Amino acid sequence: MNDHSEFFELSHDDGVAHMKLNRPERMNTMTLDFFPDVRDAVRRLSDEGATRALVISSTGKHFCAGMALDVFASDPAALGVKSARDRLAFQESLKRLMDCFTALDEARFPVICAIQGGCVGGGLDLATACDIRLCSADAFFTVQEITIGMVADLGTMQRLPKIVPQGVAREMAYTGERMSAERALAVDLVNAVLPDAAALLDRAMTLARTIASKSPLAIAGTKLALNHARDHSTASALHQMTLLQSAIFDSGEIATAIAGWKAKRAAEFEALAAVAKV
């Protein structure tokens, strides 16, 4: 399966989807149309049930230079901040933009972000919404919004402090200074640093295929458990686990996994059921 947007190419092969940002001449900057394209593509993959892992990568020198500056340079009225009524509507618009990256967090499969070059502003919002981040040696990470006089508002402030230590997140947020790939690895923002973009994509796809070889039911349940534990107390997360496990425990799935493991071959699992359209 292949799909295309103005902003990315989307392919799908044997349970692994690959979303490749494809505006290198514009440093893969985001316009307002970028967000619903990502949201709709990710939610469609999640609803269909065939995708077991998603890799997001990019093209050109930089992964993503964030929001295109002409979005901020437009008439304030167009951004909905002129009157009280406009500001109320702006809140709803912002919630919908946030939801476009929340779609990555809520997908029924893990999302792996492969970052080369700059991961700036909105690019970092996107990356922090993913399950796993890998980068190339030339990568750097920047909370760019503070440099242009605003607060990062699409998830970095909420997700970054749950990935890296509080002091590190605050330093990035207050200064807008670049964090190198080496430093990103040291503070657990990324899981690995690869020599170049080719090695980076190879590692990301290998990791995605490994995840895709596991039970999609168990992977989806694992992501639900991890996300709940991240956002709730241990007691609440343990309670959620009792409900989750009672809902998805499947002896047939376990038998299939064990048989494959003993035979040292990839087990064949049924795809997740498609989500009914409403």
Residue ranges of the domains in the chain?
2-212, 216-262
Q: What is the pLDDT of residue 158?
A: 98
Q: What is the pLDDT of residue 73?
A: 66
CATH of domain 2-212: 3.90.226.10
Q: What share of the chain is helix, strand, coil (3-state, %, to 5)?
A: 50, 15, 35
Closest CA to 59 of 26, 24, 30, 25: 24
Radius of gyration of the chain (CA): 19
Tokens of 249: 């425990």
pLDDT tens-digit profile, the chain (278 residues): 457 789 999 999 999 999 999 999 999 999 999 999 999 999 999 999 999 999 999 999 999 999 987 776 655 445 657 789 888 998 999 999 999 999 999 999 999 999 999 999 999 999 999 999 999 999 999 999 999 999 999 999 999 999 999 999 999 999 999 999 999 999 999 999 999 999 999 999 999 999 999 999 999 999 999 999 999 999 999 999 999 999 999 999 999 999 999 999 999 999 999 999 88
Tokens of 43: 């939610």
The backbone torsions φ and ψ at residue 13, rounded to the nearest 5 degrees and listed phi first, read -140, 115
